[in-house]
Chains A and B, each alone.
Chain A
Amino acid sequence: MTTDTITRPEWSTIIDPVLQKELEQYVLVTNWDKLLGMVDTVYNWGRRSSLWPLGFGLACCAIEMICTASSRFDIARFGAEVFRGSPRQADVMIVSGTVTKTMMPTIARLYDQMPEPKYVISMGACASGGGPFKEGYNVVSGIDKFIPVDVYVPGCPPTPQALLNGLIMLQKKIDGEKLDIPIIGREGHTAWYRGDIDRDVPIPILGPDLVDLRTVELTAERTAQGLIEAREASLPKPLKIPAPQPEPEHSPEGESTSGRPSKIELLRARARGEQPAASPDEPAAKPVKKLKHAQARPSLAWLGDQGLVELAARLDSHLGTETARIIQAALLIPADRLAAVALYLRDANPIRYDYLVSLQSVHYEDCIEIEYHLDSTTNPGALIELRVRVAEPDGEGEAPSLVGVYPGADFQEREIHDMMGVRFTGHPNLTRILMWEGYAYHPLRKDFLEPYYEGPTKVLPSRVDAGKGRHFRAEELNPHGTNFKAPRDFADWAKLSSHDDPKAHGLIPAGVELTELSTDQFVLSMGPQHPSTHGVFRLNLRIDGETIVGLRPVMGYMHRNHEKIGERNTYLMNFPFTDRLDYLTSMGNNFGYALAVEQLLGDDAKPPERAEYIRVIMAELTRIASHMWSIGFLLNDLGAFFTPALYAIEERELILDLFEWAAGSRMMCNYFRFGGVAFDLPPGWIERCRGIVNDRIDKRVDELDRYLSENEILLDRAKGVGLLSREQAIAYSTSGPVLRGSGVAYDIRRAAPYGIYDRFEFKIPTGSNGDVYDRYHVRLEEMRESARILRQAVRDIPDGPILHGKKNYHVKVPTGEAYSRVENPKGELGFYVVSDGSSSPYRYHVRSPSFINLTALESMCLGHTVADVVGILGSLDIVLGEVDR
């Protein structure tokens, strides 16, 4: 083959083809595409170097996203520091965290409002594919089911460096884009420049479940066919157990627990030559294993058996016989006398039970039981538990509302109404709180099976069955191919509309008429996507001019089914899930959950000395990190944009480094185990911790104090704003810095000491006015006290083992119930666990401080302005992972 030479007539010079090619490449631009390619390069460079992310965070990953924007990782180096509050000014949406069905319509709307070109980074496992919460009934299995995603950043959560890596990947993608230029007919990868392309996604609808408009006909058809019900019929259902009975079933040697002979008994009988006395009717029934019972006590520190008997007698004598019956160290109260009993306990009893600690419910075979834990702020540590039993069938349970006696019951009763379908008569506003009005089920009932339900407990059979040899996505198991379930008889498909707002149903505040001015009031919906609501939280405000005259919090946008998933997990599996409750304080959450199960395990899981010290060190470091964050972002909310927050994040980062070093993750530590901690401290850790605790933290807290505490703007915005009186704070069941800010020195570490907190010297700082400033100041002082505890702990920490017994993944938990209380940075964190002796908890409930503190929000905000609401909400220091669970 001859090489043809190319002759250019106008030059009449013969050019070597290789040279020609090189010249074309570098000097002579011979075709349009290459010329435009240079334009592409410059244009893309400009676009990729100024990506403005939407300031939009969903869950745990959002915290890492904020850290990426902070000075340590400094996303500004990539030109992406301008987090925009409005989608209309943003280029890239970082979907950071679990996408819930309740939040999905909002996300789709935000995406539609972003101008082209727009990019989406899916940050973390949850946003990419559902993540650990995928099996939940309120979780979308990946944001790409609804909006197109450009870059996936795996990890749970991805560290800031991993997110930067994702951003670099997105920049590379933009670098490689060929522009569409419709005028000259050039086609590339940027379809949005062509006029005929509409990339808007239809807004999904909250109907009986999250309905995707693009597939609504198919969905309706499959629902009508009853495919879901057909699938569920073949699956094993969760078993219900009977409610606890007065006398614990003591099982002396050789006697079985349930009337049926045990296996050993049968064998012995056979050995003696007798015919076993098993009833022939139920041969399939598994011989019940002899179950161990945990010591019956509502919590570690409580009134005591003797006191309870006296209290029951007192109630009987004052309110008529058979008012109180002692069942498993708790008082069973008939539903119709509950209000009278509560009033008596609050106002007339020698120990005034003025503080409703926690309220939860359990679905038993024969009833739904509602448990009230009560404590006294004047006589702390005298906790008692009341039980009320209501009818079991769905929607028939009815109990009197205690909102009149304990206003703090408000949200908790709504939660039980939402999750169990119990009605509370006399509740002022009984609407669903976490799911939306119109959602077809009451999800925490044992007979509700989720769309991705596979079995009652983990391990799910498909994972370990030999020979399957392939991986299934959960979507493949559901006839709809997605996380969807609706009742077969649902027919109102045509009535579904994107314009409905079922989340806010019944939550439009009524407001107060201000008489002096005849102005119109209007309702302002603030959130769920709002930079000042600390997550996906929404406030419906009724305002008169600028003045708040009514307020209703709307939540559930982050409800990721923690409790339902927790009831399928084995006991050990719940540890990493508790990390994701209040993702700023994972060590504290671990602590609370470990205590709850250890209370059931009794002496079988007593942590060794060193482990106890490590636990305290970790918990107090967490407190400092969380309070730092809280103060920094309170100042952010008040307008001191970012400098205090950056100073605060600095200390938090150093503490997170310690966590990562010891536990393996910055945020999701998963460090505690039943009877100790997972790993010993690595060599060198305690020295660095000593350095930070002894030399650094106090100085930094002092600096923050000098920097902020007397700042006139802060004083103006915080003093006298968001007042919560002592009585209100107790009545609303607030806890933590909110309660102490109002002058109640109630700290679980003192009121009901756990771990080894009784060995340390520390003060309980309190405020006097109960305003935003006091709550801020209590947090500041608490950091000093934490540093004091830490100095004692790192001084005294002994050597030795870190775990009671051997590492064991299958924990045998005795039957019974336990409620553990820890003083988490946000307030009292409680875990209520009911064990039926199997490998997973029968009921698992989280008493979340952020959630209950929000009950007081309305009364704190009335009469203030919208700008103050932001500050008040900041001073409550909520974390949505914990509010919605």
Chain B
Amino acid sequence: MIAGMGVLRGLMITMRRGLLTFHRDWRAGKALHRRGGGALLVDLFRTPSKGSEPTVVQDHLTDGLFTVEYPDERLPLHERFRVLPVLIYDDHDGHVRCTCCHICAKVCPPQCIWMSQAKSPRGTVVPLPEDFYIDMDVCMNCGLCAEYCPFDAIKMDSNFELANYERHQTHVFDLQDLLVSAEYYAKTHPEAWSSAEETTKRQKLEKKKEHRLQKAIAAAETSTP
């Protein structure tokens, strides 16, 4: 082989790739658009509003990769994608699902979950967390807490845009920071929400709540007259 041919062939490959990309874009009618879908090639002043950014799927069908122009375009958020845990409450009655059973704290590998049990005025144990802390400077986003929670109360959120300027006041999330509504969870995790497993669990929980309510009403009726 002639010396230098290997280098030249390599250069041809890079050139071929460059031309091919352009050719492909042209044929798909996307050469003058942003690949992920903005109207113009350069649309500096028209950015999509938060939450409505186009999602860019890339796989073997789209012939690989092209630049995803975050923050105006985004990669799809897969449902299992996990960042930090959140606690779920039911919208219609504000019921916090967590019963403070400590299982998440027990499986948490870096031990970043701290919680304390709520007590009734009489001092008896109430199946609710009094307070609940997650130290996000320690959390390793492993998702074991959500995986082993028997009450579907702790779930992994997929919001990754958490950058901030300060950590000592803000990086320990307490109960108020952690709570999100079931509606939000249903929106971010539609597949898991509609899965048979979670549906039956929810129904069971509803029954339990109903049962507890009836019991409380009955108790109130017998004690008041």
How far, in whole Å, are A647 and B82 apart by their CA atoms in the complex?
Answer: 28
> 1/0 contact trace for B84-95 toward A, CB 8 Å?
100000000000
Q: Quick one: given A155-B141, A464-B105, A471-B172, are A72 and B148 in contact (CB under 8 Å)?
A: no
Cross-chain contact A467 with B106 (CB below 8 angstroms): no
Picked from A142, A144, A463, A576, the residue with its CB within 8 Å of the CB of B114 is: A463
| Chain A 146-192 interface residues, beta-carbon cutoff 8 Å to B | 149-156, 158-162, 164-166, 168-169, 173
Give residues of chain B (160-182) contacting chain A, Cβ–Cβ below 8 Å. 160-167, 171-172, 174
**Listed stretches B24-32, B130-138, B205-213; interface member:** B130-138
- Assess the A706–B130 pair: CB atoms within 8 A: no
List, in ascending order, chain A residues with CB within 8 A of B105's CB. Answer: 459, 463-464
Q: How far is the CA of A160 from the CA of B71 in the complex (A)?
A: 11
Stretch at the interface among A49-57, A257-265, A664-672, A773-781: A664-672
Cα distance A668–B75 in the bound complex, in angstroms: 18
Chain A residue contacts of B110, Cβ below 8 A: 131-135
CB distance B144 to A573 under 8 Å?
Answer: yes
- CB of A164 within 8 A of CB of B80, answer no
Q: Name the distance in Å between B101's Cβ and chain A's nearest Cβ.
A: 10
Which residues of chain B are within 8 angstroms of A708 by Cβ–Cβ distance? 10
Interchain nearest-CB distance for A141 vs B (Å): 9
Asked whether, in the complex, the Cβ of A576 is within 8 Å of the Cβ of B60, the reply is no
A336 interface residue per 8 A CB criterion: no
Q: Indicate if B107 sits at the interface (CB-CB under 8 A).
A: yes
Contacts of A709 in B (CB 8 A): 6
Contacts of B117 in A (CB 8 A): 466-467
Whether a CB of chain B sits under 8 angstroms from the CB of A754 is no
Q: Which residue from chain A places its CB closest to the CB of B159 in the assembled complex?
A: A162
Pick from A152, A458, A661, A703: contact of B165, CB under 8 Å: A152
Q: 1/0 contact trace for A656-682 toward B, CB 8 Å? A: 010011111100101000000011001
Q: Are A661 and B130 in contact (CB under 8 A)?
A: no
Can you list, as one digit per residue, whether each of A313-350 has a CB less than 8 Å from chain B (1) or not (0)?
00000000000000000000000000000000000000
In the complex with contacts A569-B109, A809-B148, A142-B137 CB distance below 8 A = yes
Report whether A688 and B60 are in contact in the complex, using a CB–CB cutoff of 8 Å.
yes
Judge whether B167 and A129 touch: CB under 8 Å.
yes
Q: Is the CB of B138 within 8 A of A131?
A: yes
A169 to B7 alpha-carbon distance, docked (Å) = 43
CA distance A472 to B133 in the complex (A): 10
Q: Of A165, A577, A714, which contacts B109 at CB under 8 A?
A: A577
Tell me if A72 and B67 are in contact (CB < 8 A): yes
* B113 interfacial by beta-carbon distance below 8 Å: yes
The docked-state distance in angstroms from the alpha carbon of A725 to that of B75 is 47
Q: Is B40 in contact with chain A by the CB < 8 A criterion? A: no
Q: B220 — which chain A residues lie within 8 A by C-beta?
A: none
* Complex contact A125–B65 (CB within 8 A): no
**Contact (Cβ within 8 A) A664 B111:** no
In the docked arrangement, what's the CA distance between A165 and B164, Å?
10
A643 interface residue, CB < 8 Å from B? yes
Given contacts A72-B67, A711-B7, contact A473 B135 (CB under 8 A): yes
Contact A129 B138 (CB under 8 A): yes
CB distance from A787 to the nearest CB of B (A): 13
Contact check, B59 vs A654: say whether CB atoms are below 8 A apart: yes
Q: Which of A677-696 contact B (CB under 8 A)?
A: 678-679, 682, 688, 691-692, 695-696
B115 to chain A: which residues have CB within 8 Å? 463-464
Query: A712–B80 contact, CB under 8 A?
Result: no
Interface membership of A231, Cβ < 8 A: no
A472 and B171 CA atoms in complex are apart in Å by 13
Shortest CB-to-CB span from A25 to chain B, Å, is 22
> Residues of B contacting A92 with CB < 8 Å?
none
The smallest beta-carbon distance between B80 and chain A, in angstroms, is 4
Contact of A712 among B6, B83, B138 (CB under 8 A): B6
Decide: B106 and A158 in contact? CB cutoff 8 A. no
Task: Report the bound CA distance from A463 to B114 in whole Å.
Answer: 5
CA distance A696 to B106 in the complex (A): 43
Number of A-B contacts (CB under 8 A): 251
Instruction: Give Cα distance in the complex from A308 to B28, angstroms.
Output: 67
Partner of A125, one of B75, B80, B138, B148: B138
Q: A134-B138, A462-B114 are in contact. Are A73 and B160 (CB under 8 A)?
A: no
Bound together, the chains give a CA A713 to CA B225 distance in angstroms of: 96
Binary B-proximity of A563-577 (CB < 8 A = 1, otherwise 0): 000000110111111
Residues of A contacting B191 in the complex (Cβ-Cβ under 8 angstroms): 682
* Cβ B69 vs Cβ A77 within 8 A: yes
Q: How far is the CB of A68 from chain B (nearest CB, A)?
A: 9
A158 and B160 form a contact (CB under 8 A): yes
Which of B1, B137, B143, B162 has a CB less than 8 Å from the CB of A130? B137
Known contacts: A125-B138, A670-B144. The answer to whether A663 contacts B80 by CB under 8 A is yes
Residues of chain A lying within 8 A (CB to CB) of residue B17: 647
B contact patch SS? loop
Given contacts A162-B161, A678-B147, contact A668 B7 (CB under 8 A): no
- The reply on B74 being an interface residue by CB < 8 A is yes
Q: Is A715 an interface residue (CB 8 A)?
A: yes
Contact among A569, A660, A711 with B6 in the assembled complex (CB-CB below 8 Å): A711
Asked if residues B65 and A71 are in contact (CB atoms below 8 Å), the reply is: yes
Give bound CA distance, A165 to B82, whole Å.
Answer: 17
B163 in complex: contacting residue of A162, A472, A660, A703, CB < 8 Å:
A162
Measured between beta carbons, the chain B residues less than 8 angstroms from A569 are 109
Query: In the assembled complex, how far is the CB of residue A723 from the closest CB belonging to chain B, in whole angstroms?
Result: 22
Most buried by A among B58, B131, B138: B138
Distance in angstroms between the alpha carbons of A516 and B73 in the assembled complex: 64
Contact B5 A710 (CB under 8 A): yes
Q: Is the CB of B81 within 8 A of A660?
A: yes
Contact, CB under 8 Å: B148 / A466: no
Closest to A460 in B: B111
**Contact, CB under 8 Å: B167 / A128:** yes
- Does A116 make an interface contact (CB < 8 A)? no
- Least CB distance from B98 to A in Å reads 14
Query: Chain A residue with minimal CB distance to B107?
Result: A809
Chain A residues within 8 Å of B224, by CB: none
State whether B167 touches A142 (Cβ < 8 A): yes
Instruction: Kindly state whether residue B46 has any CB partner on chain A within 8 Å.
Output: no
B198 interfacial contact with A, CB 8 Å: no
Which residues of chain B are within 8 angstroms of A131 by Cβ–Cβ distance?
A: 110, 137-138, 140
Give the distance in Å from the alpha carbon of A807 to the alpha carbon of B147 in the complex. Answer: 9
Do A152 and B7 touch across chains, with their CB atoms under 8 A apart?
Answer: no
Indicate if the CB atoms of B144 and A576 lie closer than 8 Å: yes
Contact of B14 with A by CB under 8 A: yes
When chains A and B are docked, how far (Å) is the Cα of A169 from the Cα of B163? 7
A350 to B142, CA, bound (A): 48
Given contacts A165-B71, A165-B161, A657-B59, contact A471 B84 (CB under 8 A): no
Would you call A128 and B171 a contact (CB within 8 A)? yes
Chain B residue with Cβ nearest A127: B137
Nearest B residue to A714, CB-CB: B6
CA distance A663 to B71 in the complex (A): 24
* Contact of A169 with B6 in the complex, beta carbons under 8 Å: no
Bitwise interface map of B from 111 to 135 toward A, beta carbon under 8 Å scored 1, else 0? 1011111000000000000110101
The smallest C-beta distance from B77 to any residue of chain A, in angstroms, reads 9
Q: Least Cβ distance of B18 to chain A in Å?
A: 11
- Whether, in the assembled complex, A74 has its beta carbon less than 8 Å from a beta carbon of chain B, the answer is yes
Residues of A within 8 A of B69 (CB): 74, 77
> Which A residue sits closest to B117, measured CB to CB?
A466
Judge whether A836 is part of the interface by a CB distance below 8 angstroms.
no
Cβ of A252 under 8 Å from chain B: no
Q: Say whether B13 faces chain A, with CB atoms less than 8 Å apart.
A: yes
Cβ contact of A664, chosen from B71, B131, B143, cutoff 8 A: B143
Q: What are 14 A-B pairs at a CB distance below 8 A?
A: A133-B110, A135-B110, A152-B171, A154-B136, A161-B70, A460-B111, A470-B131, A576-B142, A579-B142, A668-B142, A711-B9, A712-B6, A807-B148, A809-B144
Known: A458-B106, A572-B107, A708-B10. 12 other contacts (CB 8 A): A144-B167, A152-B171, A161-B160, A165-B161, A169-B165, A459-B106, A468-B114, A579-B142, A643-B14, A707-B13, A711-B7, A712-B4
